[in-house]
Amino acid sequence: MIRSICLIPIEFAETKLLDSLIFYLSHTFHLQVEVRQKKIIVEEAFSRSRRQYNSSILLSQLIDDPPDSGDCKILGLCDFDLFIPIFTYVFGEAQLDGIGAIVSTNRLRNEFYGGRKNSALLSERLAKEATHELGHTFGLTHCSHPGCAMNFSTYVEDIDEKSAIFCRECEAVVRQKIGYDKTAFH
């Protein structure tokens, strides 16, 4: 049974954004959310040719020797540009029905696209992507229900169009995996 979500900042020092995410995830998943520290060697994930970080390498480090005997989900947070070899970039990556996920705020920022800084929008986008990647760790695949947090997002505009919550079917899967049996999940 999953008892908590462990957030592991990777060279991520935005306390307000972290606090907002803790609040959001604890209410969404009805789990304890705590921040843990772990040594992640980011240089191992850096690709000189792409000038980005391989999220799979970072994810592998995150899930190595998990805390609490593996009864938590691990979510790494970073602010640098992530990729996996088959995609130009990713907002995040997760293990399907596993324990780990990672999300980057790099491409969630308006400033990345030449826009003005918008902290509220960044917080909302991070909540959506964190929910999405954690959903994968609960065994959810991409969902075609309009607005579901598990909709696939190619572009940041796709993230803006979806919700930070799961559709009923996805919610039922997460609820069952957590062992949460009350009717009101959100």
Residue 140's Cα: distance from chain center in Å? 13
- The C-alpha atoms of residue 73 and residue 31 are separated, in whole angstroms, by 10
CA atoms within 13 A on the CB side of 163: 14
- Is 171 in the active site? no
- The C-alpha atoms of residue 138 and residue 123 are separated, in whole angstroms, by 22
| Residue of 14, 133, 157, 161 marked active site | 133
First to last CA, the chain: 19
Cα–Cα distances in angstroms (integers) from residue 183 to residues 149, 176, 186, in the given order: 19, 12, 9
Q: Which residues are catalytic?
A: 133
